[in-house]
Structure 1
Amino acid sequence: MEKRELPNSTLILVFGILSIIGCCCYGVAGVIFGIIALVMSKRATEIYSADPELYTGFNNVKTGRILAIIGLVLSALSLISTIAAVIMYGGLEGIQEMQQEILREYGG
């Protein structure tokens, strides 16, 4: 019997990569892509475990899952630090005032 590509194996890998890249967007995009990749990889692992000799591409699923976990952790840290900064500096206005102070002080 001919082996088939595991459903969404490439997409899981792409979402895992996007979850790491998404940590630079205040963490929100990375959390979303990381969760989606983990859910999809769980389903793909169940399909593969049922009949492993029918499918190829499980390495993509494993790699995508690892990248999603790394991206999720980095994104969560980024999101938490962003929320903490907003709380510490009294909202977005406080952050903007601080940025203006820094520009006045160092910008001349």
Structure 2
Amino acid sequence: MEKPTLPNSTLILIFGILSILTCCCWGIIGLIFGIVALVLAKSAKETYMAAPDTYSGYNNVKTGRILAIIGIVLSAIYLILNIVLVAIYGWDGMQEMMMESMEVYQNQ
């Protein structure tokens, strides 16, 4: 008989991947995906440790948890960088820098 997979094991893996992919969206979206993946991974790990012979799919949980941690770290760094840049240059300065970089890119 085939073992059932852990609840949310695939979702944890997907959220871990999304936390890395969305870390450059001001850092906030990646943090959300990473934190949700960690919370779900903790719950799945407790379920698995209660009865390890009953479930399969624990590798997805471990991989998703690692990816979520990486995504949280990258998102936090990017968020702090954005906060520092806004504090130094302000919103207007940030918009001017973006416009200048777009002009340089279009002229190439």
TM-score range, shorter chain: 0.7 to 0.9
Give the Cα–Cα distance (whole angstroms) in 1 for the partners of residues 16 and 100 of structure 2: 39
Q: Report deviation, 1:12.
A: 0.1
Give SS of 1:23's match.
coil
- Is 2:68 the counterpart of 1:94? no
- Is 2:12 the counterpart of 1:12? yes
Counterpart in the other structure of 1:65: 65
Q: Report deviation, 1:100.
A: 5.0
User: AA paired with 2:71?
Assistant: G
TM-score scaled by length of structure 2: 0.88
User: AA paired with 1:95?
Assistant: M
Give the Cα–Cα distance (whole angstroms) in 2 for the partners of residues 7 and 101 of structure 1: 48
TM-score scaled by length of structure 1: 0.88
Q: 1:53 to 1:92 in 2, by over 3 A?
A: same
Q: Report deviation, 1:98.
A: 4.1
Let me know the Cα RMSD of the aligned residues: 1.8
Q: Report deviation, 1:97.
A: 3.3
Q: Is the 8 A contact 1:16 1:37 kept in 2?
A: yes
Counterpart in the other structure of 1:75: 75
Counterpart in the other structure of 1:41: 41
Give SS of 2:37's match.
helix
Q: Report deviation, 1:2.
A: 4.5
Give the Cα–Cα distance (whole angstroms) in 1 for the partners of residues 2 and 100 of structure 2: 66
Q: 1:9 to 1:101 in 2, by over 3 A?
A: closer
